[in-house]
Structure 1
Amino acid sequence: MNRGSTWGKWDLHIHTPASYEWRGGSRLRTAASEAERDALMKEVVSAMNASGCVAVGVMDYWTFDGIKAIRSYQKRPDALPLTPTLFPGIELRMVSPGNFRLNMHVLLNPRLSDDQLDAFKAQLRIANFDRPLVDANLIEYGRVRISNERLAQLSLPRERVQANDADALIAASKTIEVTPESVKEALKTFGTDDAILMIPFDTNDGMAKIQFREHYNFPRELLAMEAIFEVSSLDTRDAFVGMRTPRNERFFDEFQSAIGQPKLAVRGSDAHRLADYGKCPNEKYTWIKAEPTFSGLLQACKEPNNRSYIGLEPPKLEFVRRNPHLFVSGVDIRKTASSKEPGVWFDGTKLEFNEDLVAIIGRKGSGKSALADVIGFLGDTPNGRYFSFLSDKRFRLPRDNKAASFEGRLNWAHGARAGEFRSLSSDTNTAAVERVKYLPQRYFEELCNDHVEGKDDLLQKELQKVIFSHLSPSEKENAKSLDEVIEIRSAVIQDRLRRNRKEVERLNGRIAMLSTRAGHDRAMHLRRELDLFLEKIRVLKEHEPKVQLPPKSDDPGLAQLNEAISKAEGELREADNVIAQKRKEQDSARLKLRRIGEVRARVAALRESVEDARGQMHDALSELGIGFEQLVRLEVDLSGLDTLEAAIKAAQTDVERALSPDGEGSLIVSRHQPETTLAELKAKLDEPNRRYQQELSAHDEWEQSWLQLLGGADIPGTFWAVWWELEALPALDGELTDLRTLRTAAAKQILADIRGMAAVRASLYRPVQELVDSDSDIRTHLHVEFSVNLSFDSFASGIFDFVKQSAGSFVGYEESKALVSRMLSAHDLNTEAGLERFFAEVETALSVDVRGTDRRPVNLGSVLRSEKKPQQLFDYIYQLEYAQLTYGLSMGGVSLERLSPGQRGALLLIFYLLVDRDRIPIVLDQPEENLDNETVFRLLVNVINKAKQHRQVIMITHNANLAVACDAEQIVCCDMNRDEGNRITYRSGAIEELPMNKVVVDVLEGTKRAFDNRSRKYA
C-alpha cells in the first residue's frame, strides 16, 4: 500500500553523453549504430540506478537529446529498467547584466512527450539572433555570428566550423545566450504544472556573481520568480527555505524580502561522468520528501523547509533508523480462525503507515475512529475506556461481540519485531508498557470540558505529565511524578518554613503575654491595685498594737521565767525560719526538675531531628559516597544532667522528710517542743506579765501582717510586687518592640521560604517555557505562559474568621471587606517592604478605628470573635498561611480554568505535540472538534509540522484545515460499504498526487482552496 510522501535522494542536475561538455567517454553523437546507442544508454541507466537516487534531472546544455535517447532505450523489450524517476531538463545561458555567463536550468514534467519537449525548446529565442533554439539555428549561429578571435579561443578553426555541423554546433553551444523574455514566455505557455526554473545561485556561473548594487532590479526579479534555486552554501539554503539560523541572521530578513516567500533550494552533482551520478561535494545530497513526481516536486516547492534537506541524511530518517520501535510501519487486521461473523468489516486489512504525519479521513461512519481505536488498543493505550468503536456499546456489545471475531497486530519500522495477533475483544493489559499515545475523541473532549463542571484535575494532570516528561533523568531525581519532584526539591524549604512558623507562634505567645502585662488596662489595674495597697498600709499602720513597758518586779524567779520565755520564742522563730527555708528549697527543687525535664525533651527532639535529616539525606549521600557522620555528628552526654537530677531528687527527699507532719527528722514535729515549752512558760506568768506577753505576741502578728502586705518584688499579690511591675512597664514596651521586630523578621523569612518553593516550581517550568517561547507563532498569537504566583487574596475573607464585622475599624459587612481589600491592594506583599507596611496597617486597624479622623483607640478584645484569642489572630496574620502559591498556565493572559474548550484543546495539543518528550506514536481522533479554524491555521499547523520532525503523528480528521494545511505526508481514506457486509476499505497515497488530491477534496469539508500553501495564506 502507498505510504505517501517519503524521503528520497534527488539529483536534479546531471548530464548525459548528449551534453557537449561530456567528460565520461563515448558521446551520444558519436554512436555510429543503434546498438552502440543502446549500449551507451544502458550504461547511463545503470549509473542512474546505482546512484541511490529516487529522481534524477537531466540538464544537458541546449538539448533534450539525452532524455529522448533514454526514453527510446526504455522502450526496448530487453532494456534495463530505470529505477529513479527521470525528469527532463535543459541547461541554458541567459542574457544578464554584466559580462559573465549566467547559467539557467528548466525542469519539466516527465509526462511531457518528446514533441512537447521540442516545442518548449523552440519557444526559446537566441539573443542577438532572434531565432528559435533549434539545432539548425545553432549551427548557422556558429558559422556566421562568432568572430574568428572567439573561435580561436574555443580552439575551433573557422575552416572546421564551416565544414562540420558538429563543430559549428559546439561553437554555438559555448557562446550563445537566450533572452529572458523567451524563457518567461515558454514557462508561461507550459504552465507551472509542467515547467519550473532551476536557477543556480552560488554554484557554477550562478546569479550570486551578479553585482547586486550595480544591477539591483535584475537579481531581485530572478529571486522573486517561481523557481528552484541550486545552492552550495547550507546557510544560503536555510535562508531560501525560510529557516533563520545564527549563521544567516545578518542577511535573513533582507533575503526573505527579496525572494518574497520560502523557495526550494537543492544541490545537484552537476555530473559530467557516469561515475559521478548522485555524488555531491562534501556529501551535500539533496533529499526531498515527496512522491518522485513533478507534482511531488511542486509540493516540496510549497513546503521547502518541511520537505527538503541537504546533507548526508535527514535527521528524521536517522532517528527512525536508530529507533524503529517508535514508529508503526503498519497494521494488519483479520478474522480469527474460529470467526462466525458474517460481516466483512476489517477482514484482510493490511495498512502501511508513513513515519511522519498520517491523516486518516473519511465521511462519518466510514471507519475512521474504528481504525484509531484498533491502533490505540494494539498499542496498549491506557485510555481504553474512552473508545468509541471498541466499546461495549458498539463493536464489543456483550450480546453480539463482533470484536471477538477479529484480531490484529501492529508492525514496526525497519523490521523491528512485529506484535502478536491479539483479539480485538481482549481486555486492555494494564501492566503493558504504553507504545502508542492515543487521544480518543471522548477523552480529548473530557480534557477540554472538565472545567465546565468545576474540575480541572484531568487536564492539569495531563499537562503535569508532559512537563514531567520534559525533565532529564537527573532532574527527575527518581521521582514518579512532577509533584514528587517538587516535594523532593522543596523538602528543606518546607522544614525551614515549619520552623519559622513555629518561631512566629512562640514570639506571638510571648508578645500576647507581655501585651497583657504592658497594656493600658493592665497599667490602670496596677495603679488601682497600688492605691488599694496604700490604703491597706495606712489602715494597718493606724492599727499597730501598742506594747506597754514590762511590769516591774524584783522577783528573781520572774526574771528567770522571762529569760526562759525569750529563749523559747527564739527557738520557735528559728524553727519557723528553717521550715520556711526548706519550703523555698522544695519549690526550687520542683522548678529545677521541671527544667531538667524540658532539657531532656529538647535533646530528644534534637536527636529525632537529626535522625529525620539522616533519613532524608540517605539516598543523596549514598549516591555521593559520603557518610552522614562526615557532615553531622551529634554527641549527647546526659551524665551531668543525670547526676544533677539525682542530687536534686535526693535533696528533695530530705526536704520532704523534714517538712512531713510526722516521722523522724520532721521539722514540724521538732517545732512542737519550743511551741509547747513557750505555752507552758507563759502559763506561769502573773496577770500583768501575761498581758505584756499577749501585747508582744499581738505586735509580732501585726509585724507579720505588715511584712506580708509589703512582700517583695518576687512575691505576687504584695505591695512591692505591684509597685515593681508598674515600674517595669516602660521596659516591657522596649521588649515588646524587640519581639515584634523579631516576629516581622520571621514573617519575612516565611515569605522568602514561600518564594523559594515558587522558584523550585518555576525552575521546572523554565525549560518548557523556553521551548514554547522558541516558537514564534505560539509566542506571537497565543502567549502561552507558565506562571508561579503568590496570592494573598484569601486574607480578605480569612481575617473575618477572627475579627467581628461589627466593631472598631471593621463595622459593616461590605465596608469591612472593602477596607481589607484596600489594604491588600495598597501594598506589594511579594516584597519584604510591602509586607512590613501591610502588617503595620493591619495592626493600626486593629488598635484604632481608622474609619474616622479622630482615630479612636480600640480594645482588641472588642474586635475579636468570642471564641478567638489574640495570639490566634496574630498567628494568622504573621504566619502567612493565607499566602497561597498558585501554579498556573495561561494563554493570552487568560488562566487555564477560564479558557474556552477550543483554547484548552489548542493548549493541550501544543503540549502533546511540541513539549512532550515522549517519542512514541501519537494518535489523535478528530482533535479539531474543539478547535476553531483560526486556531488551526495560526497555530496547530506549525505545531504539528514541528512535532512530526521527531515523532509519528496519526490524525483522524474530516477537516481540510488540518489534513492539508499540515501538509500530511500520507492520506488514508476510509470507506464502508454496508451492502458488502460492512466492508471497510482503505486507500492511501500522497496528498500531492492527483488521484488522492481528488479524494481529499471530495471527502473533506473544504474546497481546493485548502490546498494553497500555508505560508501564502498567512502572508
Structure 2
Amino acid sequence: MLDYTNYNRGSEWRKWDLHLHTPGTNKNDQFEGETLDEKWKLFIQTINTSPIEIAVVGITDYFSVSNYFKFKEYLLNGAITKKIELILPNIELRVLPVTGSSTPINLHCIFNSEIDKEIETRFLAKLKFTNGSSSYSATESELERLGRDHENNTGLDKISAYKKGVEQYVITMETLFDVFKNDKMLRDNTIIVVSNKSNDGASGIIKHEDFFINVNASQLDATRRSLYQASDAIFSSNENDRIYFLGKGVDDVSTVIRKCGTLKPCFHGCDAHSNDKVFQPDFNRFCWIKADPTFEGLKQTLYEPGDRVRIQSMQPDSKMDRFVISQLEFLDSGNLFGNQKIFLNENLNAIIGGKSSGKSLLLFSTAKSIDPDQVEKTSKRLNFDGYTFNSNFNFKVIWKNGDTDLLNDLKGAKEHKIIYIPQLYINYLVEKNNKKELNDLVQNILQQDPTFKKFYDQSTLLIRNITSQIDLLLNEYLAMRNNGKELVLKIKESGKSETIRNGIAKLESDISDGQKAAKLSSEDIIDYNKLLAEKNTNDSNLKKLYLEQNVANRLLEELISTRINLLGDSTQNDKIKLKGKLNKTLDDLIEIPDYMLKLKANIEIDYDKMIDNLRNEILKLRFDEKILIVEEKIKVNLRNLEPYFRKIEDQKELVKLTNKLEAEKKKLDDIVILENLYQKLLIEYAQMRSKITELLINRFSEYKRIVEKINDTKSNIGSDIELSCELIYKLEKFNFYEQVNKTTIGSEHLLNDFINGEYVKYDSIIDLFSKPLRFNNSMLSDNNEVNITMKVNVTFEDILKGLVKDNFEIEYSVKYQGDNLLHMSPGKKGTVLLILFLQMSSSEYPILIDQPEDNLDNRTIYDLLCKMIKDKKKDRQIIIVSHNANLVVATDAENIIVANQEGQESMLEQGKYRFEYVNGALEHSFKVTNDTIPLLFKQGIREHVCDILEGGNEAFKQREKKYSIK
C-alpha cells in the first residue's frame, strides 16, 4: 500500500505553541547562559527534556527569521531530539498607532514554512520605516543602518546597531497592506495575528467595553477596526475574547463580522523569553488545534474558529475509549480488499466515492462486526440480504480501548453498541423505542428553540446550583453532627458545669477551714484573699497588655511588608535593592510616562504616611510603660503576700487544695465554653436543617416550573406533533427506599405514604427530612411518628444523601395526529422519528448513518442535518456515508475516507486491489501527474472531495467565507 498521508486519522487535537522566542531574541532575552552558544545549548536541553508534547512551534522574533532558521537547523541535524511535526516562522511586528500605554501594537505574521527562504526578500525587504528624510526596510543590514543613524554613530558595531534599529523600527498598517496587496501569493501564505493585550495589543488603543458596547467610541475605533479587519486571528487566552470573536458575546455574529471583518480564532503561546517558560503558558492554557500539523491545517481555524481551536489545559472533545472505534481492517488473502487498514477519527468520519465504490459495504461490514443482530433486523426489514464474500474474507473493528470485533465471529459476545441507520431506514431509527430514548430525543428538540433553551438553561443552572448548595450544606450539617457528638463526649469526660461548681464550693469551704488552722486571724484571711485577688487581676491585665502589644506590632509589620511587596525596599543599598510589583509592572514599558511616575510617587507617600501614623499611634498607647507599671504592681503584690506565704508554707494540704481549686476553676471555664458551644451548635444544627429543607422545596418547585412551561407553551411542536410531560421520581432510583429493611414494613407503615406505585411522592420526602431525625442501632426516628428500621451497615450520612438525591425526570408523551408514538404503526412512527432523528439523542456510543440526505432537499440538509452532525460529533463518534458535499464539507468532517472500485469511470488507473480506500483531513491537499501512480493516490483529500461530490468546490468556497464579510 502506498503511503498516502502522515496523518491517517484526519484532523486531530494537538498542542500548538505559536509564540516561542529563542536565545538571541531581539527583545527581552532572559534565557539562561553566559554566551549565546551556551544559551542555545541550555535552551535545546530544556526543549528535549520537556514532558509537554508540542506538535507545532511558531519560532518568534521581532522583524527577523534568523532564529527560526537556527532552530530549524538544530531540528534537522538532530540536536533537538523532541518530536516536533512542524515549525513556522512568526515575525513579530511593532505597528503604529501606539496603545493607551504608549506602546506600539504587536502584530504577528505567521508564514508558511514552505516559503521560509523567501520571507527576507518578499516581506522584510518590502517593509518601510521612514525617519526624517531616510527610509529603511526591515532587513538586517537596513536595521543596522537605522541603528547607526539613530545614534548618529557610523562606527557603532553590528550587534549594537542592529539591536538599536530593531528598537526604533515601527511600521504603519498602510505599509503592511501595501506589501500584501502587491504580493497575493505571500498573503495566501501568511496568517496575521493581532495581540489583544491591553498594554501592547489592539485592545490597548481603546478599552474593550468602548469598542464592543459604546456607540460613541473614540476616533481610534476606526483604527482598531482596521487592525481587526486586516488580521486573521487573535493572540489571547482570555475566554471572554474567544467568546466575543466567535459572535457569542455582547455582539452577535453579524455585528462581529461587520466590525472585525470575520469571526476569528484565538491562539495562545507560552511567549517564552526564559527557559522556565518554554512550552509553559500561564495557567496551563495550551493552544489546542484540531488539524493536520501543517500550515494548511492552521488555516482551517480561520474557517472554523469555534470548532478547530481551543485554549485550555486538557484535550477538548475527549471521549471514553470504549465508545470510540479506532481502526477498521480488511482481512482478505485475495486481491478484492487485501489487508487494508483504515484509521478513524474520534469525531466525524465521512465515506465518499462513486457508485458501487464500496462506501456502503464498508459501513455495513463495520456495523455487522459490532452488532450483527441489529444489522440483521434492519436489513430484513429492508429486504436487503447483505453482501456475499469468499470464505477467506473477514473484517475487524478495533476499539480505542483495545477491544476487537470480528465480522465472522458469530459466537463471541458482542459487548459494544452502535446505532446503525442504513440507507432508507430512517423510519426504523430506534428498534427499541422506550421512554428513555424518547425523552432524550424530545429534550434535544425543545432546546433548538433559543427562547426555551435560555429558560431551560437558566432553570437547570438554578437547579444545579441549588443541588450544589444542598450537597455543601448537607456536608456541613453532617460535620455539625459529628462536632456535636465530640462535644458531648468531652463534656461527659469532664463533667457538667453544675457538678464542677458544687466541687468548687466544697474546695473553697475546705480551704477556708485550712486557713483558720494555719494560725491566720480572720483579718489576716480577709487581707490575704484581697491581696491574692489583686495579684490575679494584675496577672490578667499583664497578659492582656502583652497580647494587645503583639497584635499592634504585627499590624505594623504587615503594613510594612505590603509596602515592600508593592513598592520595593528603599532601605536596601543599590546592589541588592529589592524591586516591588509596581516597579516590575512598569518595567514592561520602554519609557515610563510622567503621570505614571507621579502616581507611583503618590502611592509611596501614602504608604509611608500610613506606616508613620500607625507607628505613632502605637507609641501613644505606651505599651512598654504600662507593662512596667503592672509588673511593679505584681512585685508589690508578691512582697505583701510574702508574710502570709510564710505562715502557710508548712500547710502542704492547704497548698494542694488551693492548687486544685485553681485547676477546677479552669476546668469550669473550659466546660462552660463547651456547653455554650454545644447549645449554639444545637441551634445552628436546626437552622441548617431548615435551610436544606427550604432548598429542597425550591428545587422541587423549579422542576415543576419547567414542566408547567413545557405544557403551557410546547403542547404543539409542529408537524402535527403534540407534546406533554410530567415530573416523576422513579422508586427504583430512590436510594433511601433501597436502604430500608423492608421486612419490617407493614401495610400501615408510614413509609407507604411516600410511594405511589412505581413513583415517589417527593413532597412527603421533604417533610421527612425536615424532622429532627436521630439514627441509632439501625433505627431512624424522631420525637414523634417516624420509626423506620434500616438495613445493616447503612449510615446516617447514607440516609440523608439518599433523601436529598436529585433523581427527578421529566417524562414526555409524544402524539402524532392524535396517536401516541409508542403505539403507532411503523409507517406513521417513521414520520415522527424522521423529525426526532434530526435532533438525535445524546447517547455516547457511535452512530453509523448511510446517506441520511436521501429524500431531503438540500436546504434541509444544510440547515438541520449539518448543524445536528456538527454538534453531535463532539459528544459521540459518527461515521457517515454521503454523496452530498455539504454533509462532508459544511460539517467540517475530521476524516474523509475515499472509496474506489477498480474500473470506475472516474478512476481508470489500476490499483493494487479491486476495492481501495484512502483517508485524511479536508486540509490534506496535493496533486501529482505521475502516470505510474493510481489515481486514488494522485491527489489529496480536498481534490477528491471536489471531484467526487457534486458541488464540492462550491461547498469549500461557502465554508471559507461563511464567517466573513461577503
Q: Deviations over 1:681-713 (max 9, x none)?
A: xxxxxxxxxxxxxxxxxxxxxxxxxxxxxxxxx
* Selected match of 2:337 from 323, 341, 346: 346
Is 1:134 the counterpart of 2:116? The answer is no
Equivalent in the alignment of 2:307: 306
Q: Which amino acid aligns with 1:442?
A: L
2:941 counterpart of 1:996: yes
What's the counterpart of residue 195 of structure 1? 190
Separation of aligned partners in 2, 1:373 and 1:254: 46
Q: Does 2:868 align with 1:940?
A: no
Q: Does 1:930 align with 2:858?
A: no
Q: Write out aligned runs for 1:501-580 (5 A).
A: none
Question: Given that residues 265 and 302 in structure 2 are in contact (C-alpha distance below 8 angstroms), is that contact kept between their aligned partners in structure 1?
Answer: yes
Change in 2 beyond 3 A, CA 1:77/1:283: closer
Report if the CA contact (8 A) 2:11-2:290 is conserved: yes
1:218 counterpart letter in structure 2: T
Q: Which of structures 1 and 2 has the bigger CA Rg? A: 1
Q: Contact between 1:239 and 1:256, CA under 8 Å: does it hold in 2?
A: no
Following superposition, the deviation at residue 210 of structure 1 comes to 0.3
Distance 1:930 1:278, change over 3 A: farther
Tell me: CA distance 1:70–1:611, structure 2 relative to 1, closer, same or farther (3 Å): closer
In structure 1, C-alpha distance between the alignment counterparts of 2:912 and 2:61, rounded to whole Å: 57
Aligned residue in 1 for 2:66: 65
Who is 2:482 aligned against? Answer: none
1:109 to 112, 137, 141: 112
* C-alpha displacement of 1:90: 0.5
Q: CA deviation at 1:923?
A: 0.8
Map 1:852-863; keep pairs closer than 5 Å: none
Is the contact between residue 16 and residue 22 of structure 1 (CA under 8 Å) also seen in structure 2? Answer: no
Partners of 1:97 and 1:198 in 2: CA distance: 17
Query: TM-score when scaled to structure 2?
Result: 0.54
Write the letter of the residue equivalent to 1:412. W
Corresponding residue number in structure 2 for 1:986: 917
From the superposition, tell whether residues 28 and 788 of structure 1 become closer, same or farther in structure 2 (CA, over 3 Å): farther
Structure 1 position 381, deviation (Å): 5.7
Distance 1:442 1:172 in 2: 69
2:916 maps to amino acid: T
**CA positional deviation for 1:8:** 0.7
The match for 2:950 is 1005
SS of the equivalent of 2:168 reads coil
1:474-530 Cα offsets, whole Å, 9 max, x none, are 999xxxxxx9x98996999xxxxxxxxxxxxxxxxxxxxxxxxxxxxxxxxxxxxxx
Q: Unaligned regions of 5+ residues in structure 1, if any?
A: 147-157, 449-456, 477-482, 493-606, 633-760, 766-785, 792-883, 890-895
Q: Cα gap change, 1:462/1:93 in structure 2, threshold over 3 Å: closer, same or farther?
A: same
Structure 1 residue 443 displacement after superposition: 1.7
Residues 80, 763 of structure 1: alpha-carbon distance in 2 compared, 3 angstrom cutoff:
closer
Q: Does 1:974 align with 2:905?
A: no
Alignment equivalent of 2:358, drawn from 367, 390, 402: 367
Equivalent residues of 1:18, 1:28 under 8 A apart = no
Contact kept? 2:897, 2:919, Cα under 8 Å: yes
Matching of residues 960-971 of structure 1 within 5 Å: 960-971=885-896
TM-score normalised per structure 1: 0.52
* Residues 136, 146 of structure 2: 8 Å contact kept: no
Amino acid of the structure 2 residue aligned with 1:1006? G
Shift in alpha-carbon separation, 1:910–1:139, aligned structure 2, 3 A: same
Question: What amino acid maps onto 1:464 in structure 2?
Answer: L
Counterpart residue type for residue 352 of structure 2: I
The structure whose residues are more often helix, as a share, is 1
Q: Where does the alignment leave 5 or more consecutive residues of structure 2 unmatched?
A: 1-6, 212-216, 445-459, 468-699, 704-721, 732-746, 769-778, 788-807, 904-909, 926-939
Aligned pair in 2 of structure 1 residues 227, 438: CA closer, same or farther (>3 Å)?
same
> Alignment partner of 1:930: what SS?
coil
With over 3 angstroms needed to count, the CA separation of the structure-2 counterparts of 1:136 and 1:467, relative to structure 1, is closer
2:539 is aligned to none
Contact 2:727-2:811 at 8 Å conserved across structures: no
Deviation, 1:253, is: 7.5
Displacement of 1:466 after TM fit?
A: 4.3
Report the equivalent of 1:277: 278
Q: Which amino acid aligns with 1:270?
A: D
- 1 CA distance for matches of 2:408 and 2:829? 41
Aligned to 2:838: 910
- Checking the alignment, whether the CA contact within 8 Å between 2:421 and 2:429 is kept in structure 1 is no
- Give the corresponding residue for 2:508: none
Pair 1:187–1:277, CA change in 2 (3 A): farther
For 1:750-765, what aligned pairs fall within 5 Å after superposition? Answer: 763-765=810-812
> Offset of 1:465 from its aligned partner?
6.9
User: Is residue 378 from structure 1 mapped to residue 369 from structure 2 by the alignment?
Assistant: yes
Q: CA deviation at 1:423?
A: 0.6
| Contact 1:121–1:134 (8 Å) recurs in 2 | yes
What is the CA distance between 1:95 and its match in structure 2? 1.8
Q: Describe the shift of the 1:14–1:981 C-alpha distance in structure 2 as closer, same or farther (beyond 3 A).
A: closer
- Aligned to 1:929, what secondary structure does the other structure show? coil
Instruction: Indicate the percent of aligned positions where both proteins have the same amino acid.
Output: 25
Q: Does 1:419 align with 2:404?
A: yes
Superposed, which structure 2 residues align to 1:433-472 within 5 Å? 433=415, 435-444=417-426, 464=438, 466-467=440-441
Change beyond 3 A, Cα 1:313–1:118: farther
Counterpart in the other structure of 2:874? 949
Q: Deviation of residue 407 (structure 1)?
A: 2.5
- Matched residues in 1 for 2:128 and 2:193: separation? 18
2:627 maps to none
Q: Distance in 2 between matches of 1:52 and 1:173?
A: 32
In structure 2, relative to structure 1, the CA distance for the partners of 1:943 and 1:885 (3 Å cut) is: closer
- Residue by residue, what CA displacement relative to the aligned partner does 1:96-123 show, whole Å, maximum 9, x if unpaired? 1664311111000011142344432111
Deviation at 1:184, TM superposition (A): 1.7
Change (3 A) 1:369 1:491: closer
Q: Look up the equivalent residue of 1:90 and give its one-letter code.
A: I
Residues 611 and 205 (structure 1), Cα distance of their counterparts in 2 relative to 1, 3 Å cut: closer
The reply on whether 1:326 has 2:323 as its aligned counterpart is yes
Pairwise CA distance, 1:631:
11
Change (3 A) 1:626 1:1016: farther
Aligned to 1:86: 87
Which residue number in structure 2 is paired with residue 224 of structure 1? 229
The secondary structure found in structure 2 opposite 1:331 is: strand
Q: Which residue does 2:245 correspond to in 1?
A: 240
- The offset of 1:230, in angstroms, is 0.6
Give the distance between the partners of 1:969 and 1:491, measured in 2 at CA: 41
Which amino acid in the other structure matches residue 1010 of structure 1?
A
CA spacing shift, 1:361–1:626, aligned 2, 3 Å: farther
Q: Per the alignment, do residues 988 and 887 of structure 1 end up closer, same or farther by CA in structure 2, a change over 3 Å counting?
A: closer
Map 1:617-1016; keep pairs closer than 5 Å. 617=757, 763-765=810-812, 905=834, 907-912=835-840, 916-977=841-902, 983-994=914-925, 995-1014=940-959, 1016=961
Q: 1:612 and 1:289, CA in 2 relative to 1: closer, same or farther beyond 3 A? A: closer
Q: CA deviation at 1:387?
A: 6.4
Change (3 A) 1:488 1:28: closer
Distance 2:913 2:381 in 1: 16
Contact 1:388 1:442 in 2 (8 A): no
- Secondary structure of 1:408's counterpart equals strand
- In 2, are the aligned partners of 1:228 and 1:266 still within 8 Å (CA)? yes
Q: CA deviation at 1:204?
A: 4.9
For 1:332, what is the secondary structure of its paired residue? strand
> Paired residue for 1:46, among 40, 45, 48?
48
- Code of the residue aligned with 2:128 in structure 1: it is R
Alpha-carbon offset, residue 12 of structure 1? 0.7
Check whether the contact 1:124–1:178 (CA below 8 A) recurs between aligned residues: yes
Tell me what 1:76 maps to: 77
CA positional deviation for 1:621: 9.4
State which of 108, 120, 123 in structure 2 corresponds to 1:120: 123
How far apart in 2 are the matches of 1:123 and 1:170? 20
Distance in 2 (CA, whole Å) between partners of 1:613 and 1:271 is: 67
SS in 2 for 1:359: strand
- Report deviation, 1:71: 2.8
Q: What is aligned with 2:200?
A: 205
Alpha-carbon contact 2:15-2:289 (below 8 Å) kept: yes
Partner-residue secondary structure (3-state), 2:890 = coil
Letter in 2 for 1:163: L
Q: Over aligned residue pairs, what C-alpha RMSD do you find? A: 4.8
